[in-house]
């Protein structure tokens, strides 16, 4: 299986885990602490979920060069942004303004931090696992 297909498979696992994380956060945490606070708590938890999955599966992807790993991170970032926009627009009926506010740090949106981490996560995980070539 080519690297690209393996990277897509891992992204599907990540986005599934993140979707479940978001559902559970909305059902249990948001009613207890409010949506803004739940999102603040959820962002580092989400980053942790992404890191753990990537650490477990980055070797399976078989990308070892920095440019490959950053390319995978860029792919994951774009796919995640598209996924979030589609879910926001069509699944929740949010406006473009509401969706983009989730990415604006000045408005309290933390999604840009999550996407920035998604970009570098394959490289970080490969370095932590000790198999990056330059």
What mean pLDDT is predicted for residues 104-132? 94
Has this prediction a pTM greater than 0.75?
yes
Segment 75-105, tens digit of pLDDT: 999 999 999 999 999 999 999 999 999 999 9
* Rounded Cα–Cα distance for residues 90 and 53 (Å): 28
* Count of CB atoms situated within 10 Å of the CB of 77: 19
Q: What percent of the chain has pLDDT over 70?
A: 100
CA 83 to chain centroid: 10
Task: Work out how many domains the chain is built from and give that number.
Answer: 1
Structure confidence at residue 1 (pLDDT): 84
In a domain, 112, yes or no: yes
CB 64 within 8 Å of CB 126? yes
In a domain, 134, yes or no: no
Domain boundaries, position 62: 3-129
């Amino acid at each position: 299986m080519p690297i690209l297909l393996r990277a897509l498979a891992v992204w599907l696992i990540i986005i599934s885990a993140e979707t479940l994380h978001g559902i559970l956060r909305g059902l249990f945490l948001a009613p207890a602490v409010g949506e803004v606070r739940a999102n603040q708590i959820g962002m580092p938890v989400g980053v942790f979920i992404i890191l753990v999955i990537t650490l477990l599966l980055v070797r399976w992807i078989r990308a070892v060069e920095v440019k490959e790993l950053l390319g995978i991170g860029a792919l994951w970032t774009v796919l995640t942004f598209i996924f979030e926009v589609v879910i926001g627009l069509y699944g929740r009926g949010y406006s473009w303004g509401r969706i983009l506010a989730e990415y604006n740090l000045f408005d309290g949106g933390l999604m840009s931090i999550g996407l920035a981490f998604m970009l570098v996560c394959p490289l970080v995980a490969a370095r932590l696992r000790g198999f990056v070539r330059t």
